[in-house]
């Protein structure tokens, strides 16, 4: 076993390193010079970052190599989990061992593999399953139930490892200057370390009980860091608000964990066990529904979903690097991660495929709109970013809510980077602008901070979903998913999306040729156009609102411009093996979901066909392959190999659809409205207000 693979079984090292760093800084930090305190933190995170890179490589090896379907030995072979009812106890691993007979060809119902698996199962095992690495020991026993303490490594968690350690490292480094000579430099770094440890613990947890621990601990760190300057009541109020609002959602999480635990036989909190149960035909759908709704309560507070989003803007009272790390990139996506991790529970409980009321998608979509709209009326640069975070979190949740698992997780990944960079940029701006965050007092900073200006611009464009930046790819996925899967509600999401990020929207419905289009986008060059921003916003919004189901506008927008390739590729299939193992209620006939063409996994219905189209035959064939779906393929691989650079190196990456035949007249006919919309997008307006306004 090489080092990378072995590291997969030693995942506990990462949180342990950070926890030690926390203890060291806390206990002896005061006796060290300032630079040494931060150096300890930075060194610890750097080690973790390197180790997580190793784990990423190890996981990629595992996915691509021949050993992917083997269970990795953890050196704790004497550990025996509770036998799951109706299943023979397995000798060589816990739920990592797929139970082929009972569930299907691709049987590990993590969100990732469940989503991908359900799709691929229909294609007769085109993609082989990769068994997650789970190493667990018995934590304690109550009654006859053994509680396991374990770490789990799969594509989703290595991706999170990369995000958490990567951004944490950057934030640690950035903070060296940002909080220099701060009254509580030691505490600041101690909390950063504790936060990183908790977050790593959370994403590596193999069971919901541990996840709850990590979840609350990151909340504690958030509390401590929001209230970093607690001398002012405003800050401690914000900290309290954040903690207590989260606590409200945590009631849901707590009860949800309990309900799902009992629903699944009261034997184990293991996420695979719960997911497996949720996908098994024997699942009690009522309990699952209640459990999923309760769990979503936790998501609502932690990931800033409407109506519990209110704490997040206030959380900006903390130091800006903290906002970047905790309240933009990592902690707030814990809720999204929860859905992704327990996806089968949400899938089965809320009937993501079959329900007529897509609760998760609806809340996500609503949050997207609410967050984006509220961002317009902020003068504080950090609050704009906070509301945009809310909006983006809404996107992720919406994506998961419409079945676009990969897209949601991918957006989590990309968003973390550009949003963190935006916050760090905002921190620099405030330091340059005499510690103000008020954008009314800024303007023309481009002249004085050219580098920050450029990075901010790039991130803004990414946030706005502009090609070729990361946000473009991930948002595009989500819209594809919403468009294909969410039925009537999809329109609402488009409304929200179009408001904030119209380009991708138009591109989606227009031609499927973003690269062509975006190459010719006129960039805003003149400060005089700033005045147009607010008007444009209003106009943009009003244009979106009529897009609700039933209105003629919506029909004309959606009906005429939906990419035909997508539509044809999503033709209903006969019930597949996947379909038949879903709960009976979701196994209804495809025709009952009028707008959603794919019966079981809507968004991936299109993905599947697209994948085969892209991989089997390059896009030179007569029928134009839907470009949007081709990129889905790339992001599936992104999920397993979460480095943006790896996209290019992946063999399956088909590249932009070079041979496309869309008429260019379509592109140009759209241009004026398109440009206007883009001009009015929320992040863009932020950018202008900060960088272009004259003093």
Asked if 457 interacts with other proteins (CB under 8 A), we say: no
Residue closer to other proteins (CB basis): 212 or 513: 212
- How many angstroms separate the CA atoms of 197 and 211, rounded? 13
Restricting to residues 96-155, name those near other proteins by CB under 8 A.
Answer: 138-143
Identify which range of 244-252, 404-412, 553-561, 571-579 contacts other proteins by CB under 8 A: 244-252
One of 11, 14, 63, 259 touching other proteins (CB under 8 A): 259
Residue closer to other proteins (CB basis): 255 or 647: 255
Residue closer to other proteins (CB basis): 217 or 373: 217
Minimum CB distance to other proteins, residue 252 (Å): 9
Minimum CB distance to other proteins, residue 609 (Å): 43
Residue closer to other proteins (CB basis): 146 or 608: 146
Minimum CB distance to other proteins, residue 287 (Å): 10
One of 173, 255, 530, 671 touching other proteins (CB under 8 A): 255
One of 247, 515, 567, 650 touching other proteins (CB under 8 A): 247
One of 248, 530, 595, 671 touching other proteins (CB under 8 A): 248
Minimum CB distance to other proteins, residue 544 (Å): 36
342: tokens are: 């327990």
* Separation in Å, CA 646 to CA 35, 56, 581, 635: 35, 11, 34, 11
One of 94, 191, 261, 395 touching other proteins (CB under 8 A): 261
- How many angstroms separate the CA atoms of 536 and 376, rounded? 11
- Nearest Cα neighbor of 414 from 461, 454, 453 is 461
270 beta partners = 207
One of 51, 135, 254, 478 touching other proteins (CB under 8 A): 254
- How many angstroms separate the CA atoms of 295 and 339, rounded? 8
Minimum CB distance to other proteins, residue 209 (Å): 8
Minimum CB distance to other proteins, residue 76 (Å): 15
Asked if 266 interacts with other proteins (CB under 8 A), we say: yes
Which DSSP string do the residues of 267-280 spell out, in sequence order? S--BHHHHHHHHHS
User: Which runs of consecutive H residues, i.e. helices, occur in 87-154?
Assistant: 100-103, 111-122
Minimum CB distance to other proteins, residue 219 (Å): 8
Restricting to residues 555-614, name those near other proteins by CB under 8 A.
Answer: none
Q: Cβ distance 370 to 376 under 8 Å?
A: no
Minimum CB distance to other proteins, residue 7 (Å): 24
Minimum CB distance to other proteins, residue 202 (Å): 11
Residue closer to other proteins (CB basis): 261 or 679: 261
Asked if 262 interacts with other proteins (CB under 8 A), we say: yes
- Nearest Cα neighbor of 493 from 568, 572, 411, 422 is 411
Minimum CB distance to other proteins, residue 195 (Å): 13
Residue closer to other proteins (CB basis): 143 or 648: 143
CB count within 10 Å of CB 126 equals 14
Q: What is the three-class DSSP state of 125?
A: coil
Asked if 355 interacts with other proteins (CB under 8 A), we say: no
One of 1, 43, 251, 620 touching other proteins (CB under 8 A): 251
* Separation in Å, CA 187 to CA 167, 173, 321: 19, 16, 14
Asked if 258 interacts with other proteins (CB under 8 A), we say: yes
Identify which range of 86-94, 248-256, 334-342, 387-395 contacts other proteins by CB under 8 A: 248-256
* Separation in Å, CA 205 to CA 151, 211, 221, 265, 337: 5, 6, 18, 20, 12
Under DSSP, the state recorded for 33 is: -
Minimum CB distance to other proteins, residue 248 (Å): 5
- Nearest Cα neighbor of 687 from 529, 457, 425 is 457
Identify which range of 99-107, 254-262, 492-500, 631-639 contacts other proteins by CB under 8 A: 254-262
- Nearest Cα neighbor of 392 from 381, 405, 408, 403 is 408
Minimum CB distance to other proteins, residue 231 (Å): 5
Residue closer to other proteins (CB basis): 174 or 261: 261
Residue with tokens 């080690």, as numbered in its chain: 47
Residues 280-292 as b/e (b if ≥16 CB within 10 A, e otherwise) read beebbbebbbbbb
Q: Cβ distance 429 to 442 under 8 Å?
A: yes
Who's near 364: CB < 8 A, 6+ residues apart?
Answer: 305, 393, 394, 395, 396, 397, 398, 399, 400, 401, 493
- How many angstroms separate the CA atoms of 254 and 648, rounded? 42
Asked if 78 interacts with other proteins (CB under 8 A), we say: no
Minimum CB distance to other proteins, residue 430 (Å): 23
What is the total count of residues that contact other proteins (CB under 8 A)?
34
Q: Cβ distance 469 to 684 under 8 Å?
A: no
Cis omega before residue 64 (within 30°)? Answer: no
Identify which range of 3-11, 105-113, 253-261, 530-538 contacts other proteins by CB under 8 A: 253-261
Minimum CB distance to other proteins, residue 315 (Å): 15
Residue closer to other proteins (CB basis): 212 or 610: 212
Residue closer to other proteins (CB basis): 226 or 508: 226
CB count within 10 Å of CB 490 equals 26
Residue closer to other proteins (CB basis): 183 or 658: 183
Restricting to residues 184-243, name those near other proteins by CB under 8 A.
Answer: 212-213, 215-217, 220, 223, 227, 230-231, 233, 236-237, 239-240, 243
Residue with tokens 């595992």, as numbered in its chain: 62
Q: Cβ distance 401 to 352 under 8 Å?
A: yes
- How many angstroms separate the CA atoms of 34 and 40, rounded? 10
The binding site for other proteins (CB under 8 A) comprises: 138-143, 212-213, 215-217, 220, 223, 227, 230-231, 233, 236-237, 239-240, 243-244, 247-248, 250-251, 254-255, 258-259, 261-262, 266
């Amino acid at each position: 076993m090489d080092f990378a693979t072995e590291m997969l079984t030693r995942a506990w090292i990462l949180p342990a390193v950070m926890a030690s760093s926390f203890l060291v800084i806390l206990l002896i930090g005061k006796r060290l010079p300032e630079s040494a305190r931060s150096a300890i933190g930075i060194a610890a995170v750097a080690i973790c970052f390197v180790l997580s890179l190793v784990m990423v490589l190890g996981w990629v090896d595992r996915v691509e190599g021949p050993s992917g379907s083997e269970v990795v030995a953890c050196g704790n072979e004497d550990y025996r989990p509770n036998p799951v009812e109706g299943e023979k106890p397995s000798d060589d691993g816990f739920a990592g061992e797929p139970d082929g007979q009972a569930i299907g060809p691709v049987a590990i119902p993590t969100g990732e593999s469940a989503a991908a698996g359900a799709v691929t199962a229909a294609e007769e095992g085109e993609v082989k399953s990769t068994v997650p690495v789970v190493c667990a020991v018995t934590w304690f026993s109550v009654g006859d139930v053994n509680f396991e303490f374990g770490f789990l490594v799969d594509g989703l968690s290595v991706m999170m490892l990369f995000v958490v350690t990567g951004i944490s490292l950057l934030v640690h480094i950035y903070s060296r200057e940002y909080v220099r000579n701060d009254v509580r430099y030691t505490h600041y770094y101690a909390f950063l370390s504790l936060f990183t440890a908790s977050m790593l613990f959370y994403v590596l947890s193999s069971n919901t009980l541990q996840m709850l621990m990590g979840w609350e601990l990151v909340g504690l760190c958030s509390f401590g860091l929001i209230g970093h300057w607690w001398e002012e009541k405003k800050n401690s109020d914000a900290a309290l608000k954040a903690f207590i609002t989260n606590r409200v959602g945590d009631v849901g999480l707590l009860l949800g964990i309990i309900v799902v635990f009992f629903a699944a036989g009261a034997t184990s909190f293991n996420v695979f066990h719960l997911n497996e149960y949720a996908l098994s035909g024997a699942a009690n759908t009522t309990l699952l529904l209640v459990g999923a709704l309760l769990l979503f309560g936790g998501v609502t507070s932690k990931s800033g979903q409407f109506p519990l989003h209110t704490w997040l803007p206030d959380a900006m009272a903390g130091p800006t690097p903290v906002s970047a790390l905790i309240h933009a990139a990592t902690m707030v996506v814990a809720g999204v991660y929860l859905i992704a991790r327990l996806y089968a529970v949400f899938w089965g409980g809320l009937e993501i495929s079959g329900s007529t009321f897509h609760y998760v998608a609806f809340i996500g979509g609503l949050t997207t709109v609410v967050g984006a709209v509220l961002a317009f009326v902020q003068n504080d640069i950090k609050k704009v970013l906070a509301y945009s975070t809310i909006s983006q979190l809404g996107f992720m949740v919406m994506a998961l809510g419409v079945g676009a698992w990969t897209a949601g997780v991918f957006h989590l990944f990309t968003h973390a980077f550009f949003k963190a960079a935006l916050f760090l940029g905002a921190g620099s701006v405030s330091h340059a602008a005499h510690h103000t965050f008020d954008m009314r007092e800024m303007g023309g900073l481009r002249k004085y901070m050219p580098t920050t200006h450029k990075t901010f611009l790039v991130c803004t464009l990414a946030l706005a979903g502009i090609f070729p930046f990361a946000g473009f790819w991930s948002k595009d996925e989500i819209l594809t998913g919403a468009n294909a899967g969410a039925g009537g509600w999809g329109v609402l999401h488009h409304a929200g999306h179009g408001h904030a990020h119209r380009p991708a929207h138009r591109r989606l419905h227009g031609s499927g040729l973003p690269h062509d289009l975006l190459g010719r986008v006129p960039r805003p060059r003149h400060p005089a156009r700033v005045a147009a921003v607010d008007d444009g916003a209003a106009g943009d919004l009003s244009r979106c609102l009529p897009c609700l189901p039933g209105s003629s506008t919506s029909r004309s927008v959606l009906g005429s411009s939906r990419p035909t390739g997508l539509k044809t590729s999503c033709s209903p299939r006969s019930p597949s093996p996947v379909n038949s193992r879903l709960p009976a209620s979701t196994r209804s006939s495809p025709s009952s979901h009028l707008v959603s063409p794919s019966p079981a996994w809507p968004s991936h219905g299109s993905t599947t066909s697209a994948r085969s189209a892209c991989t089997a035959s390059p896009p030179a064939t007569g029928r134009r392959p839907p470009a949007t779906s081709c990129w889905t393929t790339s992001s599936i691989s992104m999920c397993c190999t979460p480095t943006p650079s790896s996209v290019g190196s992946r063999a399956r990456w088909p590249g932009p659809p070079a041979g496309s035949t869309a008429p260019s007249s379509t592109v140009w006919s759209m241009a004026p409205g398109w440009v206007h919309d883009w001009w009015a997008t929320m992040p863009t307006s932020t950018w202008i207000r900060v960088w272009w306004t004259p003093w």
